[in-house]
Amino acid sequence: MKESSIKLTNVSVHYRIAREKRRTVQEFMIHLAKGKKIEYQDFLAMKEITLEVPAGETLGIIGHNGAGKSTLLKVIARVITPGEGEVSVKGTIAPLIELAAGFDPELTGKENIYLNASILGFSRREIDRRFDKIVAFSELAEFIHSPLKNYSSGMVSRLGFSIATEVTTDILIIDEILAVGDEHFRKKGDERILSFKTRGTTMLLVSHDMNEIKRLCDRVLWLDHGTSRMCGDPFTVTDEYLKVQ
């Protein structure tokens, strides 16, 4: 049996949500100045999740909006710390969650490549070496010296995807990003993700596309209101999930 890349034991995540929404900071401060207490309620985003992902496995994660999928990914990526339970992650992680994160709309595409890649941990020399490959894959050479504010959202996503997938990592976290660009670029994106799978990279894939889940995943975890409803064979789990949609 392969060693686990990711192991979660009875992991729960709680959020505190204000019962009464304050639209501005000024309104919030006035509320405090008047001595009024702000009432909160606890929201259980994840409840007692236990999960093991062997090295090299591609695990699909499905569920309705608000089911806890993004919370689970953020726990594994160490973005948030769970209130309860234990998390063990072995190896480096590359989270492809928000492709435009770290971009500056006032900078050019080229400048943003250097900015974003440096945030991902690339050295200047590594970016110099990979720059042409990133631009070629994004198919944005014609616009690479234009400010990002002039790009369409699809172009920004393509650039972000091209940078993020140049990284060499042990664990790749993918949250609803394979739909970037047109059909041609989506096919390229699919092929690049499959190349990670071929190299033995452990992958977590969140998607609402059940055909994509069946095609790419070895196992599937179905989350429902923060709990694990079912985990197993991609065809079995997705078929059960679709019955209740």
Q: How far is CA 101 from CA 27, 116, 229, in A?
A: 29, 8, 31
Q: Structural domain tally of the chain?
A: 1
CATH number at residue 183: 3.40.50.300
DSSP H helices, the chain, are 25-33, 69-76, 109-119, 124-138, 153-164, 183-198, 210-216, 234-243
Amino acid at 235: F
Sign for the CA dihedral angle at 148, 99, 16, 62 comes to positive
Give the pTM.
Answer: 0.79
Enclosing domain of residue 212: 4-243
Is 117 strand, coil or helix? helix
- pLDDT tens digit sequence for 95-119: 777 666 678 999 999 999 999 888 8
Q: Is the pLDDT of residue 122 over 90?
A: no
What burial class does residue 136 get, using C-beta atoms within 10 Å of its C-beta: 0-12 exposed, 13-18 middle, 19+ buried? exposed
Q: Per residue in 12-58, pLDDT tens? A: 998 876 656 655 666 656 666 666 666 666 778 899 999 999 999 99
- Alpha carbons within 13 angstroms on the beta-carbon side of residue 141 total 8
